[in-house]
Structure 1
Amino acid sequence: TAASFEFKKEDHTLGNALRYIIMKNPDVEFCGYSIPHPSEEIMTIRIQTYEGAVVDALKKGFDDLMDLCDVVADKFTAAREEFAEQQMQE
């Protein structure tokens, strides 16, 4: 199955990250995004699955991307705190 989804006020930042994460799903055959015109704040993403609902692949992509962002934020916070502690010791 295949479907396209349109997101308003989004650009390459979300489009490329979401495309990358969705393509990690083994049930997904194809995922691509486009910005139809630079002056319009619209991002379109197309997903094609081998099996399963396309909307489920999109939801899983959002969940996986949020999990990845949480990991990055946690690692950044830990590194910042470690750096601050080192600065206090000097």
Structure 2
Amino acid sequence: MNAIQRYELYVLEDGEKPIEVTEDTKIPNAATIKVLKQDHTLGNMLRHQLLANPAVLFAGYKVPHPLQPHFLLKIQTDGSITPTAALEKASTDLIGALTTLENKFRNEFSYREVDGTDGAGGGTGLGLGGGNVGDVGMDATGGAYGDGTAWTGRDYLDL
């Protein structure tokens, strides 16, 4: 009926700016940043990365309404840097952290392809079971418990 099209939640219109910065006149070294076509996922990651910066005194976000695809990010600094500079640094750091995570993820899958395990049995090297019912995932030491011992299936009290 009157529901918006799904693509309107993440595709910017022609001439629409993804970020709008409004300096706060009542609080020194503060700004409110409106980020369009994004939601809690990016808002929470940016807030967390901003709070890791010692020059940031306050960082918080809110989604005004769940049907409006934007969030408001409030940043206050101690004056050594501007809120927009703090946001740029947090964004750069977040991109670096996500790139590192992606590389580690890709490396794990490349080891899995070299090892020849496809999850049909045996373990993944992470202590996680890979396949059949009753299989126990082995960790790097060869044992299910990390000390070389294997699970016998009788480690529970049968009532």
Under TM normalisation by the shorter chain, which class is it? over 0.9
1:71 to 91, 97, 100: 100
| Structure 2 Cα separation of the partners of residues 44 and 86 of structure 1 | 46
Deviations 1:16-44 (A, max 9, x none): 00100111001000000000000100111
Q: Which runs of 4+ in 1 moved over 4 A?
A: none
Which amino acid in 1 is paired with 2:110? Answer: E
Question: Which structure carries more relative contact order (alpha carbon 8 Å, separation 6+)?
Answer: 1
User: What residue ranges of structure 2 are gaps of 5+ in the alignment?
Assistant: 1-28, 118-159
User: How many aligned residue pairs are there?
Assistant: 88
| Structure 2 Cα separation of the partners of residues 19 and 83 of structure 1 | 35
TM-score normalised by length of structure 1: 0.94
| Structure 2 Cα separation of the partners of residues 83 and 30 of structure 1 | 43
TM-score normalised by length of structure 2: 0.54
- Looking at secondary structure, tell me which structure has more strand per residue: 1
Which amino acid in 2 is paired with 1:29? Answer: L
Alignment partner, residue 32 of structure 1 = 60
| Structure 1 Cα separation of the partners of residues 71 and 94 of structure 2 | 17
Cα deviation for residue 84 of structure 1 reads 1.0
Identity in percent: 34
Cα deviation for residue 87 of structure 1 reads 1.5
* CA RMSD in angstroms, aligned pairs only: 0.9
> Which of structures 1 and 2 has the bigger CA Rg?
2
| Structure 2 Cα separation of the partners of residues 87 and 32 of structure 1 | 46
